[in-house]
Chains A and B, each alone.
Chain A
Amino acid sequence: MKARQNGRGSNDAPHGCANDSLSGRLLAKLMPLNPRASGTEGGMTVVSARSSEWVRPVTQQDPASAIIEIDRVSQVFQTSARKDHVALSDISLTIEEGAFVSILGPSGCGKSTLLYIVGGFVSPTSGAARMKGQAITGPGPDRGPVFQEFALFPWKTVLGNVMYGPRQQGVRAAEAEAQSRALIEMVGLKGYENFYPKELSGGMKQRVALARTLAYHPEVLLMDEPFGALDAHTRTRLQNDLLNIWERDRKTVLFVTHSVDEAVFLSDKVVMMSKSPGRIRQVIDIDLPRPRRRNELLLDPRYQKYVVDIERMFDESDQAGAPA
């Protein structure tokens, strides 16, 4: 029997716990939020945003439609060399209910960390994230994550995975099963209910993961590079299917990606981030008609302009930021 893979998942963001004992690791995994995370300090004083030209301030004028507010969030990790690494610096962002918002940036810009903060999996070093005005203090079924690594329970079948959420929410077994079967059909996996995740392809696994999250009816979907591990063809198909599913009920989606095409194709709004330290570079509204059809959109000059403009902005910042 070979040793199993060690604890660090493929591209885990560090989760802020310096304790290197195994026990500390499981504990950190079980309670990622520590009590100091309330983030109220400094809330009264007027702080001038350090990177004011990039940061769109939290807008208070239309609180009815704001579902998630990220208020001056910073995240500092201690690296193994005992140096502070600023993953996120002074991020403020408001996400409106029903919007499809992508966070776009190079790897290492802290975009996943920002998503984990909204998920309540990681507590920010300073600042606060709020969901419908309530400070986020931990994970909850109102915010459903979908991870790049799928994170399906290997000991459960497709049906068992999808039923997990409703059962945890106290839905009766028969009802949870009926709902889950309907969801499995919706993501296109009818007939695979009794398969185990290991028997599915990557694309199918991600469909199951999406169904598992949708099953407990989160108000916000938090998608962490969900199609990043898939081949181009599967990726395109899942993007189309995600849009079709999303267009039925228009849940709020926060979607992390490093693909410009993907962000423009899917989103109402693209939040461009730059790295070291992770900052919001620009927020771009994508004004393209819905429902979006891939074959139409690829020929649409407006779509092409968005993609080219965003890529150019990243290139400029790379040249400006590179030390030669």
Chain B
Amino acid sequence: MMSRFFSPNLVLGIAPILLVIALWQGLVSFGFAPAVLLPPPGFVFGRLLQQLVTSTFQHEIAATLIRLFAGFAIAVVLGVSIGIAAAASPAINAVVRPIVRVLAPLPKVALYPALLLLLGFGHGSKITLVAADALFPILLSTYYGASTVEQKLIWSAMAAGSSRYEILFKVVLPAAMPSILTGCRIGLVISCIVVFLAEMITSTDGLGHALVTAARTFQAVDMFVPLITISLLGLVLNGLLGVVRSYLLRGFPEA
């Protein structure tokens, strides 16, 4: 499991990151890589702070974040509703199961050229790609969670007078929440990767695009800045999801 925020584990978690940065610094200091191609970390972080206040870079971050959030949100809504529906209805399951089996293993990035042609270079194509990639882990974990709800929770609600339909929302959905949130955590990491990838392949803005532009013009420092930014964003978003998770699962023993 993830180390908790603000705990002794945080120190243990930071140590290896510092080690990587030290290694990076070492590579440059001992001349294994020329500073022009592999700029030292201090230089990159300095540049990052410098960039963060410029409106151009903020615009890149905003573009990436919009795509990431929109795609992830669509994936959560679709994944959870399809997952619950498939678990509750054999007819829906019969329809969904083959589609999932065919589409889940497909590298969704292979759809990206088609999406570009259909939806253009703007947000649409990237949001769709992110949603398509994040959907399946969320859908599958929702389905699993909804299918393994304890029988007696459902019986207790039935005896109290809840209809089947009400039980889906009042019992199955909350009872499946631990599983759903695990799917969301995986989906979020995938979203970070895919939005960056899509922007690297073809885009007019965003962090991925900034990296590719810098690489093409041999500006090594500017190449590393978006890279650090996306990992920091991923870290922050994962932390936020962790906060949401511990709030939603405050009653669950395993949380």
A interface list, Cβ under 8 A from B: 1-2, 4-7, 9, 12, 15, 19, 21-27, 29-32, 119, 121, 138-141, 143-145, 147, 149, 151, 153-157, 164-165, 168-169, 196-198, 212-213, 216, 218
Looking at chain B, what size class is its interface with the partner chain? 35 or more
Q: Which of A23, A24, A139 contacts B155 (CB 8 A)?
A: A139
**B147 touches which one: A2, A7, A216 (CB < 8 A)?**
A7
B152→A22 contact, CB < 8 A: no
Q: A residues within 8 A CB of B1?
A: 1
- What distance in Å separates the Cβ of B73 from its nearest Cβ neighbour in chain A? 22
Q: List 10 A-B contacts (CB under 8 A).
A: A4-B179, A5-B148, A7-B148, A24-B90, A26-B149, A30-B167, A119-B155, A196-B250, A196-B251, A213-B156
Q: Is the CB of A198 within 8 A of B253?
A: yes
Measured CB to CB, the nearest residue on chain A to B253 is A198
Bound Cα distance A286, B174 (Å): 44
Task: Check: B21 CB closer than 8 A to any chain A CB.
Answer: no
Additional A-B contacts beyond A19-B90, A168-B157 (7; CB < 8 A) = A12-B151, A22-B147, A23-B89, A151-B156, A154-B175, A155-B252, A164-B160
Q: How far apart are the CA atoms of A223 and B157 in the complex, in Å?
A: 16
> Known contacts A26-B149, A121-B158, A168-B161; is A157 also within 8 Å of B251 by CB?
yes
User: Is A145 within 8 A of B149, CB to CB?
Assistant: no
Chain A residues with CB under 8 Å of B170's CB are 164
B161 close to A26 (CB less than 8 A)? no
B93 at the interface (CB under 8 A from A): yes
**Majority SS of interface residues in chain A?**
loop
Complexed CA–CA distance, A24 and B86 (Å): 10
Q: A9: which B residues are within 8 A, CB to CB?
A: 150-152
B153 within 8 Å of A (CB atoms):
yes
Separation in Å of the A214 CB from the closest CB of chain B? 11
Q: Bound complex: CA of A47 vs CA of B88, how far in Å?
A: 40
Q: Please report the C-alpha to C-alpha distance between residue A5 and residue B253 in the assembled complex, in whole angstroms.
A: 12
Contact indicator B162/A23 (Cβ below 8 Å):
no
Task: Determine if B178 and A4 form an interchain contact, defined as CB atoms under 8 angstroms apart.
Answer: yes
Say if the beta carbon of B154 comes within 8 Å of chain A.
Answer: yes
The secondary structure that dominates the B interface is: helix
A contact residues around B159 at 8 Å (CB): 119, 139-141, 143-145, 213, 218
Asked whether B182 is an interface residue with its Cβ less than 8 Å from the other chain, the reply is: yes
Partner of B164 from A4, A30, A155, A156 at Cβ < 8 Å: A30
When C-beta atoms are compared, the residue in chain A nearest to B148 turns out to be A7
Q: Cβ of B248: which chain A residues have Cβ within 8 Å of it?
A: 155
Interface presence of B132 (CB below 8 A): no
Option from B88, B179, B251, B252 in Cβ contact (under 8 Å) with A27: B88
Given contacts A22-B143, A23-B86, contact A29 B151 (CB under 8 A): yes
- Of chain B, the residue at the smallest CB distance from A31 is B164
- Is the Cβ of A216 less than 8 Å from the Cβ of B90? no
Q: Mark B214-255, 1 if CB is under 8 A from A, else 0.
A: 000000000000000000000000000000000011111110
For the complex, what is the distance from the CA of A156 to the CA of B160, rounded to whole Å? 15
